[in-house]
Structure 1
Amino acid sequence: MIESKRQRRMIANIATYIVLASLTVFCIGPMIWMFLTSLKYEADIVTQTMQYLRAALPSTIMSPSGRSQVSRGL
């Protein structure tokens, strides 16, 4: 009987953590979307195709020598 209660409690805890993790991802998702959108240029925001990370990264990346290199195809 004790083992059965212990197993039920463990299953309930696992289910609770799965639900809480899902809600956390659901709530943080829009914040991640806003952050990625804030890094895009306006022309990249208003396009027909959706691009996630590549379009969110700045198009100018500094090279190790300190010179700016344009690289759009990350």
Structure 2
Amino acid sequence: MNKVKTVSNTAILLGILTLLLHFAVQAESTVEQDIGELEYTSFCATCHGNDGKGNGPKANQLSAKPTNLTLLS
């Protein structure tokens, strides 16, 4: 009986740890995405535009048209 209880408790613990790890990874990727969006908005969007097509508000002030980032693979 103790062996069955130990196995079931171990399975429950592993399930809980798996869920915690899953949510931790999701939270980290959301934070990284938010940071990336903030950096793009701050440093890139003025030339490349919010949509990345090279039509930002300062694009016409440059000697060369900014790259359309949506075409990069």
Q: TM-score range by the shorter chain?
A: 0.5 to 0.7
Deviation of 1:28 after TM superposition, in Å, equals 1.8
State the TM-score, normalizing by the size of structure 1. Answer: 0.54
Gaps of 5+ in 2: 55-64
Deviation of 1:39 after TM superposition, in Å, equals 4.4
User: Quick check: 1:32 aligned with 2:29?
Assistant: no
Deviation of 1:37 after TM superposition, in Å, equals 3.4
Aligned length: 55
Identity %: 7
Which residue type is aligned with residue 35 of structure 1? Answer: E
Relative to total residues, which structure has the larger strand share, 1 or 2?
1
Relative to total residues, which structure has the larger helix share, 1 or 2?
2
Gaps of 5+ in 1: 56-69
Displaced runs of 4+ in structure 1, greater than 6 A? Answer: none
**Highest Rg: 1 or 2?**
2
RMSD value, Cα:
2.8
Give the SS at the match of 1:12.
Answer: helix
Give the SS at the match of 1:37.
Answer: helix
Q: Which residue of 2 aligns with 1:5?
A: 9
Give the structure, 1 or 2, with the largest relative contact order (CA under 8 Å, sep 6 or more).
1
State the TM-score, normalizing by the size of structure 2. Answer: 0.55
